[in-house]
C-alpha cells in the first residue's frame, strides 16, 4: 500500500522578524566565534529601514521545500498556545503542508527569532527557543507517521525522541535524512553512533562535523571520510560559500557555489539540505541532487527570510547549474 505521505519533516518552527538598518556596523574582534561582531551603540535609538515578518525554523523550512516540490508533506513541531503558534500553523497550511501532528503546549510561548541583517547580507539571530524545544516523546503520534521519508532537523536534543522516531522508521522501512542541530550533537559521537548507522542521508556543515568527530575542521576531506563510515548511506559536508562535498561510499562529489546576488543568508542551509533530499527522493541521482540543492539555496539568499526564495517544482532558478566533479 502507498504511504500516506511522501515525507514528514520533524524540527523547529519559529516566528521570524527581520530588521535591516544601515546603522548595524561590523567590527573585527578576536574573541568573537566568527571573528567579526555586528555592533550598534548602547543607549540610542536606531532607525530600521526595512522590516519583514515571516516564519521559519529548520523543520518548517524543509517542509515548505518538499511541498513546493510537489511532495505530499507533513511537518511535526511544537508551538505554544498563542498567536505566534497560530501564525506558524497558518503559514504551513497555506503551503499545503499537513500540520495535524504538531504539539501545542500552553505553558510557554512559541519560538521567536529577531534577525538583524547587515547590508552585506550576513545576519545576527536572536533566538528564543520557547516551546519549540520541548518535544514530548509521549505525544509523538508514531502510528500516524506513515511516509516514504523522514527528514529530521533539530528536535531540542531529546535523545529518547530521536531514538523512538529512528526505530519507528527502521521497523517500517522508512528512509531517514538527518540534519542535526547543536543540541543533538551535544550527545557526542558514541551516543549518536547507533542512530547514524540507520541514516540514509546525513547533512552537516564542516565545523559541526569536525566538532562531533573531534578532528580539525580545516580538513573537510577527513570529516567526510569519517562520517561516511558511520552512516548507512550518503554523507554531506558543506562549507558555506566554499561549496559542498558528498560521499556515497563509492565516490566523492564536489561542487562550488555559483555567483548570485546575496540579500540575506537566513535559511540557506535548510534550503540546501531539503533541496538535496527532494531531488534525491525524486531521481536518486547525487549530481542532480547537489545541483538542485545549490540552486534552492542560491535562490533563498536573494530574498528576505528563509522561505520566500524556495523554488517551486520545475524551477531551478536563473543561474547556470553548478558543476559537480566526481572521483
Q: Distance between CA atoms of 300 and 264, rounded to whole angstroms? A: 8
Pairing of strands 147-152, 175-178: parallel
pLDDT reading at 120 higher than 90: no
pLDDT digits 0-9 by tens, 279-325: 999 999 999 999 999 999 999 999 988 999 999 999 999 988 999 99
pLDDT bin (cut points 50, 70, 90) of residue 46 is confident
Average pLDDT, the chain: 92
Query: Residue 230's domain is classified under what CATH number?
Result: 3.40.1190.20
DSSP 8-state assignment for residue 121: S
Which runs of consecutive H residues, i.e. helices, occur in the chain? 58-68, 83-94, 159-171, 182-185, 189-196, 206-213, 220-230, 268-283, 286-300
Distances (CA, A) of 13 to 9, 100, 244, 265, 304: 11, 14, 26, 18, 17
pLDDT digits 0-9 by tens, 244-285: 999 999 999 999 988 878 888 888 999 999 999 999 999 999
pLDDT bin (cut points 50, 70, 90) of residue 1 is low
* Structure confidence at residue 313 (pLDDT): 96
* 155 is a domain residue: yes
State the average pLDDT over residues 128-143. 90
pLDDT bin (cut points 50, 70, 90) of residue 3 is confident
pLDDT reading at 33 higher than 80: no
pLDDT digits 0-9 by tens, 194-235: 999 999 999 999 999 999 999 876 778 899 999 999 999 999
How many helices, marked H, and strands, marked E, lie in the chain? 9, 17
* 37 is a domain residue: no
pLDDT bin (cut points 50, 70, 90) of residue 166 is very high
pLDDT bin (cut points 50, 70, 90) of residue 174 is very high
Q: Distance between CA atoms of 262 and 300, rounded to whole angstroms? A: 9
* 320 is a domain residue: yes
* Structure confidence at residue 123 (pLDDT): 83
Query: Phi/psi of residue 40, each to 5°?
Result: -150, 150
* 69 is a domain residue: yes
* 232 is a domain residue: yes
Which domain range does residue 91 map to?
A: 5-13+53-106+137-326
* 120 is a domain residue: no
* Structure confidence at residue 40 (pLDDT): 79
HEC secondary structure over 17-66: EEEECCCCEEEECCCCCCCEEEECCCCCCCCCCEEEEEEECHHHHHHHHH
* Structure confidence at residue 219 (pLDDT): 78
* Structure confidence at residue 272 (pLDDT): 96
pLDDT digits 0-9 by tens, 55-102: 999 999 999 999 999 999 999 999 999 999 999 999 999 999 999 999
* Structure confidence at residue 107 (pLDDT): 85
Question: Total domain count for the chain?
Answer: 1
pLDDT reading at 108 higher than 80: yes
* 316 is a domain residue: yes
* 192 is a domain residue: yes
Name the residue among 195, 159, 158, 157 with its Cα closest to residue 178: 195
Q: Distance between CA atoms of 66 and 157, rounded to whole angstroms? A: 24
Amino acid at each position: 500500500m502507498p504511504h500516506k505521505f511522501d515525507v514528514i519533516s520533524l524540527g523547529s518552527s519559529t516566528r521570524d522578524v527581520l530588521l535591516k538598518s544601515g546603522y548595524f556596523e561590523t567590527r573585527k574582534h578576536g574573541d568573537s566565534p566568527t571573528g567579526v561582531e555586528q555592533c550598534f551603540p548602547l543607549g540610542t535609538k536606531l532607525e530600521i529601514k526595512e522590516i519583514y515578518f515571516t516564519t521559519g525554523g529548520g523543520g518548517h523550512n524543509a517542509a515548505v521545500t518538499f511541498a513546493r516540490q510537489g511532495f505530499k508533506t507533513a511537518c511535526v513541531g511544537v508551538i505554544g498556545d498563542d498567536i505566534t503558534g497560530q501564525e506558524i500553523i497558518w503559514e504551513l497550511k497555506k503551503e499545503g503542508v499537513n500540520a495535524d501532528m504538531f504539539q501545542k503546549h500552553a505553558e510557554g510561548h512559541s519560538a521567536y527569532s529577531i534577525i538583524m541583517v547587515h547590508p552585506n547580507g550576513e545576519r545576527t539571530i536572536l533566538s528564543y527557543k520557547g516551546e519549540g524545544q520541548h518535544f514530548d516523546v509521549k505525544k509523538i503520534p508514531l502510528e500516524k507517521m506513515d511516509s516514504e521519508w523522514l527528514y529530521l532537523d533539530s528536535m531540542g536534543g531529546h535523545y529518547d525522541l530521536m531514538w523512538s522516531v529512528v526505530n519507528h522508521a527502521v521497523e517500517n522501512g522508512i528512509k531517514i535524512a538527518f540534519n542535526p542541530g547543536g543540541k543533538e550533537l551535544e550527545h557526542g559521537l558514541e551516543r549518536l553512533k547507533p542512530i547514524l548507522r540507520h541514516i540514509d542521508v546525513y547533512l552537516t556543515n564542516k565545523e559541526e562535523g569536525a566538532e562531533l568527530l573531534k578532528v580539525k575542521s580545516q580538513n573537510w576531506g577527513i570529516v567526510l571520510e569519517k562520517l561516511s563510515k558511520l552512516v548507512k548511506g550518503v554523507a554531506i559536508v558543506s562549507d558555506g560559500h566554499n561549496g559542498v562535498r558528498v560521499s556515497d561510499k563509492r565516490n566523492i562529489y564536489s561542487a562550488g557555489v555559483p555567483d548570485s546576488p546575496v540579500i540575506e543568508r537566513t535559511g540557506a542551509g535548510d534550503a540546501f539540505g531539503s533541496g538535496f533530499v527532494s531531488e534525491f527522493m525524486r531521481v536518486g541521482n547525487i549530481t542532480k541532487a547537489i545541483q538542485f540543492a545549490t540552486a534552492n539555496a542560491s535562490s533563498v539568499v536573494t530574498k528576505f527570510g528563509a522561505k520566500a526564495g524556495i523554488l517551486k517544482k520545475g524551477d531551478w532558478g536563473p543561474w547556470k547549474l553548478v558543476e559537480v566533479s566526481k572521483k
